[in-house]
Amino acid sequence: MDTVKLALPASITVTITLTSLANSATGVAGRESNAISNASDLYWDYVVGGKLRTGNVLTGNGFFEIWAHAAVSDAPLYVDTLTGSDANVTFTSRAMLTNCMRQLAQVDTISSAVGRVYWMPPVSIREAFGFMPRNFGLVVINRTTGAASGVAGSNELYAWGRYWTEER
């Protein structure tokens, strides 16, 4: 009898500089990651999760938003103002942002606990898009009402590829 199981290669740390990421009251500005190419790995799916830490000055309750974007062609051509590189990003509008990306998670934060680490549970990229994109990246929008933690290593996102194996 053939056996089909999961294969789980090593997880990777997503290249995205979230240290002291500024708050965006309108939710149009944030940070994008380096894009991840699946052109040669050809994984069936990626699971994305991580941790985000609020800064030491918060004026109210808020949240982090974690979004995923994907290239629309193999050029690769990215949507709106995205470049596929670890950089600050400002979208044309909030409507454009919500229309051209997929939201992976919203992590609520509270003002009474500054400098707290919040966890984003693992989310399937395939499930978010309905298929596994060839090139994809992450965008974090900080709406916590204050800058994100400036402590190095306190904000990290991971991506974990997976595919199937068949034994005969």
Interface with another protein (CB under 8 A), residue from 11, 28, 80, 124: 80
Shortest Cβ 96–another protein spacing (Å)? 7
Q: Determine how many CB atoms are found less than 10 A away from the CB of residue 93.
A: 12
Interface with another protein (CB under 8 A), residue from 18, 70, 120, 140: 70
User: Is the CB of residue 122 less than 8 Å from the CB of residue 49?
Assistant: yes
For position 10 contacting another protein by CB under 8 A, the verdict is: no
Cβ proximity to another protein: between 43 and 63 the closer is 43
Pairing state between β 102-109 and 3-7: unpaired
Cβ proximity to another protein: between 12 and 77 the closer is 77
Which of positions 137-166 make contact with another protein (CB under 8 A)? 163-166
For position 77 contacting another protein by CB under 8 A, the verdict is: yes
| Cα gap 104→66, rounded to integer Å | 6
Shortest Cβ 113–another protein spacing (Å)? 34
What lies within 8 Å, CB to CB, of 47 at 6+ separation is: 122, 123, 124, 125, 159, 160, 162
Q: x-or-dash pattern for another protein, window 90-129, by CB under 8 A? A: --xx-xx--xxxx--------------------------x
Pairing state between β 3-7 and 156-167: antiparallel
Shortest Cβ 98–another protein spacing (Å)? 10
Stretch that binds another protein, among 19-27, 68-76, 114-122, 142-150 (CB under 8 A): 68-76
Cβ proximity to another protein: between 52 and 141 the closer is 141
Q: Which residues, listed in sequence order, are joined to residue 148 by a DSSP beta bridge?
A: 54
Which of positions 28-57 make contact with another protein (CB under 8 A)? 38-39, 41-44
Nearest to 62 by CA among 168, 167, 153, 141: 141
| Cα gap 40→42, rounded to integer Å | 5
